Structure 1
Amino acid sequence: MTGSAVHSDAEGIHGVLSGLELPCHLVRNGGRLGMCHEPPPGAQVLATAGAMPPQALGDSGFLRRHDVRLPYMAGAMAGGIAGTRLVAALSRAGCLAVFGAAGLPERRIDAALGELARELGDGPYACNLIHSPMAPHLERTVVDLCLRHRVRCVEASAFVQVTPELVRYRLAGLRLDRTGGVCAGHRVIGKVSREETAEMFLRPAPEELVQLLRQQGLVTAEQAELARRVPLSDAVTVESDSGGHTDRRPLAVLLPTLARLRARVAREYGDGMPPVHLGAAGGIGSPHAVAAAFALGADYVVSGSVNQATVEADTSAAVKRLLAGAGIADCVMAPAADMFEQGIQVQVLGRGTMFAARAGLLLRLYHDYGGLDELPEAERRRLEDRVLRRSLERTWEETAAYLKEYHPDWLARAERDPKHKMAMVFRWYLGMTSRWAVSGDADRATDWQVWCGPAMGAFNAWTAGTALAAPGNRRAADVAGHLMRGAAYLTRTGHLRATGVRIPAACADYRLPPP
C-alpha cells in the first residue's frame, strides 16, 4: 500500500486506519472520497488524524520513569501466578510487569527475584509488596529481599495505612542527583480504590515514620531530609472492578475522582514535587476498555485477569481452559482467605467450580457458632464430607503444624480461643483451594479458587473466532500488544468521528489475526 494511494473500499480504508505510525487523511480526489496516508497532488483534504502509535497513549513521563516502551503494566497475581516467565516476557516487550510475591514463602521469593535480576538486569519489572497487618514480618521479609536483589520498583497493594517497611523501601533509594534534584532509585506504585488511601500515596512519607527509621539507623540523615521532597509513590493505580480483592467500584467514577484529588494535592506542594502518575486497573480486557481508560485521563493501564490465561502464567492448563470459556457474568464474590474473619471478599470465577458456595458455607458457620465443638452433627458431617473431605481433627493437625512454623503467635491464640481455632481451620481450606487450582489437582477441581474479574469475559468475547481464542496462543506480550494497538486504533477512529467523519461499519474495530 503506497502512502499516496487513495482507498474508498472498506478493506483499503481499514488498512489506512491500521497504519498507526502514519497520519491518515480523508480526501476528495477527482470527485471521489477516500482515505490515504499522504494526500496526492491536487486532492482536497477534508479531515486528518495524526499518527497514533500505541506508545502515544497515556503519559510519556510514565515511559521515561519506568524505562518502558508502552504505558502498560501487568499487575501482580498472588501465589506466584504472575511468575518469572510472565514478568520476563512482558519486560522484554517493553512493559512493566509485577512478580506475584504475596502468599509465597521467603525461599521462593528469594529465588524468583534472583532469577529476574540475572535475566533482566536493569530491565523493567517490579515485585508485589502486600500490606500484612496481621503479620508485619512478611512485609519486612519482602522489603529485605527487594533490597538484596536491587529491585527498583514495588507495587504496594492492600495498604490501608503507611507502614515502616514501605517507607524504608522508598527512602533507601533516595539520593541527590548532579543538579541538586532528588533521584528516587526505589519506585513505588500504590494500588488503591479509595480516596483516603490514594492520598497517603500522593503525599510525602509521614514524618513520624521517617524519624523512626532514622533513629533505628535504617535510613540516613540525608534520605530522611530528601523524603520531604518526594511523594511516597511514583504512581497510583486506580483499581476498579477487578479479580481478587476489589471494591467493585466503577472506573468512570473512581478515576476522575482520584484525578481531582491528585490535582488538589499537587497544588499544595507546588512545582517542586515530582508528579504522580495515575493508572487504571479493573475491567482492562478489551481495546475498548483500554481506550476508555486513557480517555478518562489514565497515564497507564494495568491488566490482570487476562494475564492469568496466558501461556506464561504459572497456573495449570486446566485453569486456563476454564478462564478461556468465561463470560462477563461468570464471576462471583467469595470469602477471602487472608481476611476471612473480617468478612472481606474476593472476586473469583464462578463457572466450573463450587468454591464460592463452599466458602460461603464456612463464613456462615463461623458467624453462627463459637467454635468447632459447637457445630451440630449434621453441619459437621456436611463440612467434613463435602468441603474439607477429611476430618476436622486431621485438618487441625495440618493447620497447627503450619502455624507452629510460620505463625506461632496465631497457634497460641488458637489453642486458647475456640473461635480463632475455627477460623484457622477454615482458612486451611480457603488457602488450599488456590493451590489446587494452580497445580491443576483434578481430584479437587470443584474446589478450585480462581481469582477473576469480568475483564476475562470481555477478552474472550473480543478474541472469539481469532487466533487468540485458544489458550495456547495467548502469549502475554501478544495480548499486551493487541490490546494497546486496538486501543490506539479506536482512539484514532474516535478522533475522526469527532470531526464529523463517518467510519464504515466494517472498519469500526481493530482486527485480530485469524485462527
Structure 2
Amino acid sequence: MITYAFPGQGSQFVGMGEELFDLFPDIVEKADAILGYSIRSLCLEDQLNVLGNTQFTQPALFVVNALTYLKEIRAGNNEPDYVLGHSLGEYNALFAAGVFDFETGLKLVKLRGQLMSKVQGGAMAAVLNFPEDKIEQMLEQEGVSDRVSIANYNTPSQIVIAGPIIEINNLKEKMEAAGAKYSILKVSGAFHSRHMKAIQSQFADYIQNMEFREPKIPIISNYTAREYEPGNIQELLLEQLVKPVKWTESIRYLMGKGNMEFKQIGPGFVIKRLIEAIQKNSEPLIVHNFKSNLGIEAFRKEFFTYCNYVVGGMGNGISSEQLVTKLGESKIIGFLGTYGRDIEKVERELSKIKMKLSSFQTVGMNLVYNMSEPEKMRDYFELLYKYDLKLIEISSYLNITPNVVEYRLKGLSKTSDNAIHTKHHIFVKVSRIEVAELFMSPPPEKLIQKLLEENRITKEEAELGRNISVCSCLCIESGKDMDIGMGQLLIESMKKRRDLVREKYKITNQIYIGLAGGIGTPVMAANAFELGAEYITTGSINQCTVEAGTSEKVKNILSEINLFDTTYVPSKILFEWGGKCSVVKKGTFFPYRANKLYELYSQFDNLSEIDEDTKNQLERKYFNKSFLEICSEIYKTQGNAEELLKDRNTMISVFKWYFDYAVMEAIKGNSESQTSFLIYSTPAMGSFNEWVKGSEWEDWRNRHVDEIAMKIMSEAEEIIKNKYRAADV
C-alpha cells in the first residue's frame, strides 16, 4: 500500500513548481483568474517578497501540490491507497480524493490564507527533544495553559506550540533551562490553536452550504488522525483551524495498516523527513475497528457511538480526563465525574479533553444533584454551554429543575422535514417509576414559562420543548443511593410506562431505556439485553483501570475483591433519609464506622450529647481531628465553635465530612489512613475479577476502560448468538 502526503506551510521556496506550470496551462490559467495574480510569477520570482506571507503561501502551495499530484497520475501511477496532508496540505488530500475540484479547493485555500493572515498577536515555537507530557506540565506550572497550547505533533521529538507572542517569547528561557531546544518560528499567527476561533465562524459561513463529494480515497484528518467519515467534511475543516495537527499519530495509524509506503507529493523534503523520523522512533498504531450490534441501532446512530454501552461518571476525579478521553477515542460514551470536585479543575480537564479529542459527541459530564448548593449547580451547567457538551448524565434528581429544562431546550430547532432537532441529550439514572415518569414527560409548563420570562430560552425553544421528553435516555439503577431494587425486573414495566407517556403527551423523540448495577461480565451484559435493555451502563469495574483517577493502592484492593467483598452502608448524599450505597469492605473499617455514625445520628440530637468515650473514639480513631477542628474547617469559623456542636445540622455535616475525608484518603492512597478508606464498588467488581482470572487482565495495569467495554460487548453478543444457534439445532 502507498500513502501520498502533501506538505503545508514551511515547505515553500522561490523556484518551486518550475517544471509543472508548462505541463498544465489550463489549470494555471484558472489559478490566475481566481487569485488575481500570476501564480507562476509568485512561485518562480516572488518579486514583491510575499511568498512567505500566509495569504500568498497557502494558495501557492496548494497549486504546486495539486500540479505535482496530477503529474503523478498523468505519468501512469495508480491512485494511492490513502492520502493526507499537513495543515494546508490536507486540502490537497481532499482534492486528490475527489471531494472537490481544483477551483473549489483553491477558493477555499485563498479564503483560509486571507483569514489566517489577519489574526495578529500570535506566535509559534518548535520544541525539540522535550516530551509532550513535560510540555503540558510546564505550561500548567507557568500558568499559561489557557493561552498556550500544542499546535503540531510533528514527530515524537518535535512539537510545536502556539499562543500570544509575549508568552511564546517568555517560555523560551524556561524551556531551554529544562533541557529543550526551542526555536521561535517565522509565522504571522498562533495557528491551530484557540486563537484562530475569531476566524472560524467566518470560514464556517463560507463553507456551511457547500456540497462536498464523498472521498473516493480514504483521507486521514489532521484533527482526528483517522479517516474522514461520511458527512463530516465541513466539521473537520473547521476544527482543523483551532485544533492541533496530529501528524505523528496519523502516520503511526497508517503504519498500523501493514506494509505502508509513504511518498511526499509537493515541494521540499520537510514531510518526507518528518515521516522518516516517526517511522524510526514510533511503533505502528494498531486500531481495532470495534462495532457492536447489541441493543437498538437508533441509539448508536443518535449518539454517534459504536455500541450501546455507557461508562457512568464516578465522582472525585475517578472518571478522569484520561478515562473519558480514552473512551472518546474509541467512540464509546463516557461521562466526566464532577461530584466532589472544584469547578476550576473540572474546567481544566474539559479543556484538555477538547484539545485531545476530534469530537465531543460521545463525551459528557456527570452531575449529582446538590440541593444545598444551587449556585454551584448553575456554574456546572454554564460549563456545559461553554464547552458545547451535548451529553449530560444526572443522578440523585428527584424533581425537574430549571437548569435541567434550560439545558434540554436550548438549541431546539425544526429540520427541513418539520421534525424537532435536539441539540442536548440528558441521561438520567433512576430507581423509581414515579421519578422516571417525570423525566419521560415534557418539561413542566411552569418551568418553561419561568425560563421564558428570564430570557433563558427563546419562544421557539419553549414551543418545541412542549413536545419532547426531559430525558433522552433513562437508566434503571439497581442498588445505588436510593432503593436497592431489582432493576432488571423493572425494564418491561418502564418500557410500557414510556410508551404510555409518549402517547399521552405526543412526544416526538425516542426515549431509550437502559440498565445499570451489577453489570461486570459479558454474561450479565447479555442478560440485560435479553431482558430488553436498550443500552447498559457500567460503573465500578471502570474504577480499576489504568485511566481511572484513583490510587494504585485502591486499584490493588479492587483487583483482588470477590463477589462477597462489598456491603451496603449509609449514603452520604441521602444520609438523613437512610439511603444506602455499596462499598468495599475488604481491607478497610469504613463500613463498620459508617454504620456506627448512622446509629449515633439516630440516637442523639447533636454532637454535644455524645458520651465522652464515644467522642474520643470518633476523634482519635475515625476523624484524626476533634469535632471543633472539623467545624472550623467546614464553617470557616474563628475561635470558639462550641455552640455549633449543639446544632443537629452540624452533626450531619461532621459525619458527612468523614465520608469526604475517607474518599480522598483512598484516592491519595494514604497507607496510614487505610482503615478509613471509602471505596465505592459493587459485586460487579468481584464478578469481573473472577471473569478475568488467569488472563492478562488479572493485573489491573493491563486493564483499559475502552478495551473492557469492547470485550464485554463482543463476548455478550457471542453469548446471545450461541444461545440462538443452540436453539436452532
TM-score normalised by L of structure 2 = 0.58
**Residues of 2 paired with 1:121 and 1:246: CA distance?**
37
**Residues of 2 paired with 1:431 and 1:267: CA distance?**
44
Partner of 1:323: 558
- How far did 1:139 drift? 1.8
Q: Gapped runs of 5+ residues in structure 2?
A: 1-289
- How far did 1:248 drift? 2.3
Residues 1:351 and 2:586 aligned together: yes
The residue correspondences of 1:101-140 to structure 2 (distance < 5 A) are 101-123=338-360, 124-140=362-378
Q: Give the secondary-structure state (helix, strand or coil) at the position aligned to 1:150.
A: coil
- How far did 1:207 drift? 0.8
Change in 2 beyond 3 A, CA 1:439/1:416: closer
Partner of 1:268: 504
Q: Gapped runs of 5+ residues in structure 1?
A: 1-52, 405-411, 502-515
The residue correspondences of 1:190-269 to structure 2 (distance < 5 A) are 190-242=428-480, 245-269=481-505
User: Is contact 1:74-1:97 (8 Å) kept?
Assistant: yes
Change in 2 beyond 3 A, CA 1:400/1:269: closer
Q: Give the secondary-structure state (helix, strand or coil) at the position aligned to 2:479.
A: coil
Q: Of the candidates 67, 88, 103, which is equivalent to residue 304 of structure 2? A: 67
Q: Of the candidates 409, 415, 418, which is equivalent to residue 171 of structure 1? A: 409
Task: Tell me how many residue pairs correspond in the alignment.
Answer: 438
Partner of 1:297: 532
User: Is contact 2:431-2:477 (8 Å) kept?
Assistant: yes
**Residues of 2 paired with 1:151 and 1:139: CA distance?**
16
Between 296-305 and 363-372, report the one with greater CA deviation: 363-372
Partner of 1:58: 295
**Residues of 1 paired with 2:460 and 2:679: CA distance?**
45
**Residues of 1 paired with 2:500 and 2:494: CA distance?**
10
Partner of 1:3: none
Between 316-325 and 363-372, report the one with greater CA deviation: 363-372
**Residues of 2 paired with 1:453 and 1:222: CA distance?**
44
Q: What do residues 89-123 of structure 1 show as CA deviations (whole Å, max 9, x unaligned)? A: 11111210011111211111221222222222433
**Residues of 1 paired with 2:601 and 2:484: CA distance?**
25
- How far did 1:178 drift? 2.5
Q: Give the secondary-structure state (helix, strand or coil) at the position aligned to 1:284.
A: coil
**Residues of 1 paired with 2:726 and 2:484: CA distance?**
32
Q: What do residues 442-494 of structure 1 show as CA deviations (whole Å, max 9, x unaligned)? A: 11111011110111111011111111111111111111111011101101111
The residue correspondences of 1:134-173 to structure 2 (distance < 5 A) are 134-173=372-411
Partner of 2:284: none
**Residues of 2 paired with 1:62 and 1:96: CA distance?**
11
Moved over 6 A (4+): none
User: Is contact 1:192-1:198 (8 Å) kept?
Assistant: yes
Residues 1:441 and 2:670 aligned together: yes
Between 292-301 and 342-351, report the one with greater CA deviation: 342-351
- How far did 1:341 drift? 2.5
**Residues of 2 paired with 1:417 and 1:228: CA distance?**
48
**Residues of 2 paired with 1:469 and 1:256: CA distance?**
36
Amino acid at match of 2:653: M
Q: Of the candidates 178, 184, 187, which is equivalent to residue 425 of structure 2? A: 187
Partner of 2:324: 87
Q: Give the secondary-structure state (helix, strand or coil) at the position aligned to 2:665.
A: helix
> What is the Cα-based RMSD across aligned positions, in Å?
2.0
User: Is contact 1:288-1:487 (8 Å) kept?
Assistant: yes
- How far did 1:417 drift? 5.6
- How far did 1:496 drift? 1.0
- How far did 1:336 drift? 2.1
**Residues of 1 paired with 2:373 and 2:697: CA distance?**
41
Amino acid at match of 2:495: A
Partner of 1:45: none
Pair member with larger Rg? 2
Partner of 1:507: none
Amino acid at match of 1:434: V
Amino acid at match of 2:486: P
Q: Of the candidates 689, 693, 704, which is equivalent to residue 460 of structure 1? A: 689
User: Is contact 1:177-1:183 (8 Å) kept?
Assistant: yes
Amino acid at match of 1:439: K
Q: Give the secondary-structure state (helix, strand or coil) at the position aligned to 2:393.
A: strand
Q: Give the secondary-structure state (helix, strand or coil) at the position aligned to 1:428.
A: helix
- How far did 1:416 drift? 8.9
